[in-house]
Structure 1
Amino acid sequence: MRTHDDNWDITTSVGSTALFVATARALEAQKPDPLADDPYAEIFCRAVGGSADAVE
């Protein structure tokens, strides 16, 4: 359960879920006939930086 005073970052907990979904959407958008086209997904992923193996 989330509380107002818990701590997390983009590579843990709910942050890693958001990053995973954004990554999937960014990859899908690169296909010739994508099911989803999210123009912000790649921007979000690039802003995080790092590499996929850093996600816990």
Structure 2
Amino acid sequence: GIANPIGMILSTAMLLRHSLGLETEAAAIEKAVDETITAGACTADLGGTLSTTQMADEIIGRL
């Protein structure tokens, strides 16, 4: 896949924070996304070469 999964992943962080009150967990997801982008691991729309699955795996690996 070529879709960028960041929107979906950050939506999950919002759900955890605003619906379930899980601030720590939401912050961990946001930090993992930020670290992934900062490391240059990106999908094509952000100038990288990763697939949807590879991008998600990079983020998961930072959790």
User: What's the TM-score once normalised by structure 1's chain length?
Assistant: 0.36
Q: Going by fraction, where is helix more abundant, 1 or 2? A: 2
User: What's the TM-score once normalised by structure 2's chain length?
Assistant: 0.34
